[in-house]
Chains A and B, each alone.
Chain A
Amino acid sequence: MQCRNVLTHIDAMRTDEIDSQDRDRIRQHLDDCPSCEESVTDLEGFAALARSLRHSPSESLAERVCSSVLDSYDSFDLDGDRVWVAFSSAGLRMVDIAAADESDFRERYRKRFGRELRRAPIPENCRKSVEAAMLGLPIGLDAIDFSGLTEFERDVLTTIRKIPRGEVRPYAWVARAVRRPRAIRAVGNVMANNPMPFVLPCHRVVPSSGGVGNYAFGPDRKRRVLRSEGAPIELLDSLAREGVRFVGSATTRIYCFPSCRDARRIREENRVPFRSAEDAARKGFRACLRCMPETASA
């Protein structure tokens, strides 16, 4: 075997990546050739040193990599609920009170956003936002990370933020408000998949026909949340039974949704019920500018 052939193999021999026949022939050559034998020593010395010459990345690299791929989650107890919260550096991404455990929540999140979560302590401002939201208080848009949602979802979810605490609006009203009046069922789907219940108050959206409709955490929970916010649930129920969708004031000749705060100020003797917006218009009533009930008439 020639020196040239031996030298191209000695490094592979160092890590035992060579067949036994070649190894025997090279060993034989090395016994007779001090020059090649020296190269083996040189190589072993270099191999031992080389690893210490590696360059290391900055300490923040792993953190940056992980936070660009993974979002974070945490959970805490609030008024008898275990609240699960997913968040990114841009704000809240998902809130859940129905998750059975950590892996259930992570699985729900992965299904919804196709991203993974890692446990990390929730920042104080995120936690405060969620607590405020669960009390029915409005929270700033900048606390929410809307990325990963479709434009339609974003439109719908930012629109329902405008429904005041203690009031409700029909799905059809939301569809009109986002200039997609026929997309009532689509609005319902967005509500059903709302990643941030309470924070984005999907519980304030109800069927046009009355009643509270469905809710991710059950209709009973929806009623409880609405009642705690001061919505006139019993009134809405009784009006729905009578087929009344709007109420007007005989003095101002303005009609509203029954939960509108202006409607609730109408005295009993001045209250005029309407089954439809057309009915109200025919009788010379105009729509309230605050709750905009005409947008719900289909």
Chain B
Amino acid sequence: MRSTWTGGTALTADSEQLALAVHESRDGAFERLVARFETSLFNYANRLLQSPLDAQEVVQDAFVRAHHALTSQYDGRRVRELALKPWLFRIARNLSLNRRRGHNHDLERPLSEFDDGRIGPLVPAISVTGIVEAREERDALERAIESLPDDARELIVLRFMEEMSYQEIAKCTGQTESALRGRVFRSLKLLRAALSEGEAQSCNAETC
């Protein structure tokens, strides 16, 4: 298990230095770590839990644990080999899932069948419709993301909002990269389906 956190392109020189700086308790290092990852981890935890309050607690807990691990548990070699970003996301993920133990979650369910068709437009033509409509469309997209199953929502967050590589996501979620490609595609299809459903509903409401 330990080796899954090491090596590869996910380990950028920059985040390696940051982990090492925290390990060595350099001045301001932990603050830099928090500043750099707080929005990412909060967004991720909030998308998983769909509760800002729970997400704040998870993020706080995740940082406390990360700090403890980096300063008191891991030796220098292990810190140098750590893929910091997916490691942090993994901590936030585990804490989020713990928090929901007892609730049903479907992060680990098998990839369902999908058809071969194209994904379909995920972004309505925002540029030509003006600010008000752009906002409505963003809201529609937001609602569609909220309605996704947990696993699909998680991948949309990690891949598109947090811009993580497949290798990083694999380290975070414990799935293989090739399986993730299929899952990301399925997630996009589900998002498209949720968007169409939302449009249909709002059309019915306005009886257009």
Contacts and interface: CB of A to CB of B under 8 A. Distances in A.
A65 B60 contact: yes
B122 to A, nearest CB: 4
Nearest to B189: A7
Interface string A100-139: 0011001000100010101100000000000000000000
B63 A46 contact: no
Contact of B160 (A7, A38, A46): A46
A49 B38 contact: no
A35 B185 contact: no
Contacts of B163: 51
B122 A43 contact: yes
A43 B192 CA distance: 11
Contact of A42 (B122, B161, B182): B122
Interface residues of B, number: 52
A81 B63 CA distance: 37
B25 A116 contact: yes
A118 B29 CA distance: 10
A9 B188 CA distance: 13
A66 B167 contact: no
B120 A65 contact: no
Given A49-B126, A51-B160, A53-B161, A110 B59 contact: no
Given A42-B123, A45-B122, A8 B43 contact: no
Given A116-B25, A116-B30, A61 B56 contact: yes
A69 B116 contact: no
Given A8-B185, A47-B160, A65-B64, A53 B145 contact: yes
B39 interface: yes
Nearest to A44: B123
A52 B139 CA distance: 12
A70 B119 contact: no
A110 B71 CA distance: 10
Interface stretch (A11-19, A193-201, A287-295): A11-19
B42 interface: yes
Interface string B64-78: 100100011000000
Is chain A's interface secondary structure helix, strand, loop, or mixed overall?
A: helix
B11 to A, nearest CB: 15
Interface string B118-147: 111111001000000000001001100100
Contacts of A64: 60
A267 interface: no
Contacts of A103: 27
Interface residues of A, number: 46
Interface in B34-85: 34-35, 38-40, 42-43, 46-47, 52, 55-56, 59-60, 63-64, 67, 71-72
Interface string A1-35: 01110011101100101000000000000000001
A57 B145 contact: no
B110 interface: no
B30 A57 contact: no
Given A53-B138, A54-B43, A11 B159 contact: yes
Interface centre among A47, A52, A106, A110 (most CB of B within 10 A): A47
Contacts of B63: 65, 69
Nearest to A7: B185
B119 A8 contact: no
A114 B67 CA distance: 11
24 contacts: A3-B117, A3-B118, A8-B185, A17-B165, A39-B118, A42-B121, A43-B119, A45-B122, A46-B122, A53-B145, A54-B43, A54-B162, A55-B47, A55-B55, A57-B39, A62-B31, A62-B34, A65-B38, A65-B64, A66-B34, A68-B60, A103-B27, A114-B71, A116-B71
Given A12-B181, A61-B42, 19 more contacts: A11-B188, A38-B118, A42-B119, A42-B121, A49-B123, A50-B161, A53-B142, A54-B40, A54-B43, A54-B161, A57-B39, A57-B52, A57-B55, A65-B34, A65-B60, A65-B63, A68-B64, A110-B25, A116-B30
Interface of A: 2-4, 7-9, 11-12, 15, 17, 35-36, 38-39, 42-43, 45-58, 61-62, 64-66, 68-70, 102-103, 106, 110, 114, 116, 118-119
